[in-house]
Chains A and B, each alone.
Chain A
Amino acid sequence: MYAFDYHRARSLEEALKLFATLDEATFLAGGHTLLPTMKNRLAAPENLIDISALPELSGIGMQGGVLRIGAAMTHHAVAASSLVAETIPALAALAGSIGDVQVRHVGTMGGSVANNDPAADYPAAVLSLGAEIETDRRRIPADDFFQGLYATALEEGELIVAIRFPVPETAGYGKYRNPASRYALAASFVSIRDGAVRVAVTGAGKNGVFRWEAAEQALMGHCSASRIADLRPESDALLSDMHADAAFRANLVNVVTRRAAEHLGGASIV
């Protein structure tokens, strides 16, 4: 890691002010993506602004029919929340499948969504549930937020404050974990709200998380795994790497989406 200065912000206002005044600044939440990236010298900020203790980014609560989760909430806090378990149990199960227990004690939802790793779990839930990303300046619908590998709609210095999840009728998550990293080799989040089915796939897309519209249409009206028994996404659009080639991933997307549909109200994590 190259040298940098560390700053701990105590409020949202202070964090934004620090960002505006410091050169080459980056926000630090759990650091479980940023610090490994800095160790590899793929990032070299001169100033880190620690936002993990900002009161504005903390808390999990219901507002109308919306579950609002503060950006600084750890994966452990989401997995252990009784409110999340009651309202969107598949989301609690997803959080509990991230990395390992030490990673979940520190990594945050905001950091995961801002980073938009193509194999990360949260983007699948955010996109399937049609969540809104609440920032210091606006609300961004999930459909506009994710813009390709590690790319999002966030502007320079824009801070995610919370994610707002409309509570669905039901939802399920199917994940096939890379046994070494436990990131998704392929994972699918299926949700039903106002009669509409939304399917979001992570781990598999060349451009990161994507909605699998053919599966959504097939599942509409009757969300049963048998309806997509023979459906696979086009492998041209899928990742091919040393862990799995595109044809294997196309099959895996079918498998995890069927499992998600079979586990509505929960998850299948393998």
Chain B
Amino acid sequence: MQDVTLTVNGKTETRRVEGRTLLVQFLREHLGLTGTHVGCDTSQCGACTVILGGRAVKSCTILASAAAARGEVLTIEGLGDEEALSPMQEAFHRHHALQCGFCTPGMVMAAHNMVQRHEGELTEAIVRRELEGNLCRCTGYHNIVKAVLAAAEAHRAVASAPAGQD
């Protein structure tokens, strides 16, 4: 057992865990943040995607101990909530980009990170390519791609607005 300290959604948390504890277990079982899902546990589906040190990663394939050296963690709970959805959550809602919703936390985190890394400069081809690590069994992806492109466009509009305006 060892103490692992991680900053998750802006809050620094320490827990005593086993060496083999995965980042996703640390989040779900030790911090109670069950928004991050486990779809496969074989590194394929992306339902467990969180942002670690500014990059989307599969939290089922990183040890919590190793994550501690790689920067802060952002999970779906840190993006927004029912009262105040984040722009990406809002876009998923508006474009009906989910059905059962199981893949959605991972999709939203991957998409949020994609928009940030590309500063909103996305095309359909880039979105489809960068969502290769996120599987959805329901939607056929079409509306997910629409939602990500809409959020990217909103991101560009905000970025190019003169200072002081919203």
Q: B-contacting residues of A (Cβ < 8 Å)?
A: 1-6, 8, 28, 31-32, 35-36, 38-39, 48, 50, 52-53, 76, 99-103, 105-106, 181-182
Contacts and interface: CB of A to CB of B under 8 A. Distances in A.
A6 B57 contact: no
A1 B62 CA distance: 13
Nearest to B53: A105
B61 A105 contact: no
B19 A6 contact: yes
Contact of B69 (A2, A53, A182): A53
Contact of A31 (B61, B132, B134): B61
A102 B133 contact: yes
19 contacts: A4-B20, A5-B19, A6-B2, A6-B63, A6-B65, A35-B61, A36-B43, A39-B41, A48-B19, A52-B66, A52-B69, A53-B69, A100-B46, A100-B132, A102-B49, A102-B110, A102-B133, A103-B58, A106-B62
Q: Chain B CB within 10 Å — which of A8, A28, A35, A48 has the most?
A: A35
Interface string B53-89: 0011110011101100100000000000000000000
B19 A4 contact: yes
B92 to A, nearest CB: 19
Nearest to A99: B133
Contacts of B133: 99-103
A101 B62 contact: no
A105 B65 contact: no
Contacts of A39: 41-42
B13 interface: no
B124 interface: no
Nearest to B63: A6
A50 B43 CA distance: 19
B121 interface: no
Interface in B132-164: 132-134
B63 A105 contact: no
Contact of A3 (B18, B41, B55, B56): B18
Contact of B63 (A35, A53, A101, A103): A35
B46 A102 contact: yes
B41 A28 contact: no
A102 to B, nearest CB: 4
Contacts of B63: 6, 28, 31, 35, 48
Contact of B132 (A38, A76, A101): A101
A50 B63 CA distance: 10
A101 B56 contact: yes
A8 B69 contact: yes
Q: Chain A CB within 10 Å — which of B58, B61, B132 has the most?
A: B61
Q: Chain B CB within 10 Å — which of A5, A36, A99, A100 has the most?
A: A100
B56 A102 contact: yes
Contacts of A8: 65-66, 69
Q: Chain A CB within 10 Å — which of B41, B56, B114 has the most?
A: B56
Given A1-B20, A50-B69, A102 B58 contact: yes
* Cβ-closest 6 pairs across A and B: A100-B133, A6-B19, A100-B132, A105-B55, A6-B65, A102-B133
B73 to A, nearest CB: 14
